[in-house]
Amino acid sequence: MFEITILASGSSGNATLVRSEGATLLVDAGLSAKQLRERLALCGVTPEEISGVLVTHEHGDHVKGLPQWCKQYSTPIYCNRHTAAILRSKIGDYHGWKIFETGAEFFLGSLSIKSFSIPHDAVDPVGFVLREHQRSFGFLTDLGHATTLVLESLRNVQSLLIEANYDEELLQKDTKRPWAIKQRISSRHGHLSNNAAAELLEKLLHPELSHVALGHLSADCNRAELALYAIGQIIKDHPSIQYWCATPDKISPTIVL
């Protein structure tokens, strides 16, 4: 068994459930503890069944639920030491920290977990590649551009969650955000646009790629149809690839590998 269910993805909160033979994991916990429990229940999973939470970085839309979760459960929290240093100030006294070195591989049962550095304005942000018995899932959100390391880390994964945060024209026309925020979003340590996500995906295409979920769409500066169109132009000659936009308000279709 290797199943991936995106519980929520967007600027308001991010969390993904991964079920494998070796472990049942959350990647990020950017919903409230109550919302996490509710969405896990819809998947038939209890909090006690969660083997660990993998944390990509310390921003609130990825860790919002951790302080309350850690008061109620003893779930191991897997992150690098720089991220842990910040989270400890929010969570307080907790004994479930599992610190990994960015770039190092570790295992939970038969599930391989490998992090890789990504360019984003956080203390030490990472993406993940999870592998088990020739099945693989790449997790990539919150990055300003795709480095060579990102490309090499994600090469030949079977399924992928990739950020498509904003449409360039909608971002520039947005009246809610000051210029400095727009510059941050579109910088090399900000977020991927639809076009940048499409360019990255084009470099990652291979015959075994079966699922692509687009995540972290901005509620104000993107629309699902724009993101899907950008990606669709890249994979139109690959009809076997299933692709869709993950949303913050409902669970996405489960990827079964």
At 211-243, the pLDDT tens digits run 999 999 999 999 999 999 999 999 999 999 999
Rounded to an integer, what distance in angstroms lies between the CA atom of residue 94 and that of residue 106? Answer: 22
Residue 37, φ and ψ in degrees, nearest 5? -60, -45
Distance CA 63, CA 72 (A): 15
Q: And the tokens for 16?
A: 């993904």
Mean pLDDT of the chain: 97
For the chain, the structural domain boundaries read 2-256
pTM assigned to the model: 0.97
Share of the chain above pLDDT 70, in %: 100
| One CATH from 3.40.50.2000, 3.40.50.300, 3.60.15.10, 2.60.120.380 for 2-256 | 3.60.15.10
Q: How confident is the model at residue 161 (pLDDT cuts 50, 70, 90)?
A: very high
- Residue 201's Cβ-count burial label (10 Å; 0-12, 13-18, 19+) is buried
Distance CA 70, CA 152 (A): 34
Section 9-37 average pLDDT: 97
pLDDT of residue 32: 98
From the CA atom positions of the chain, what is the Rg in Å?
Answer: 17
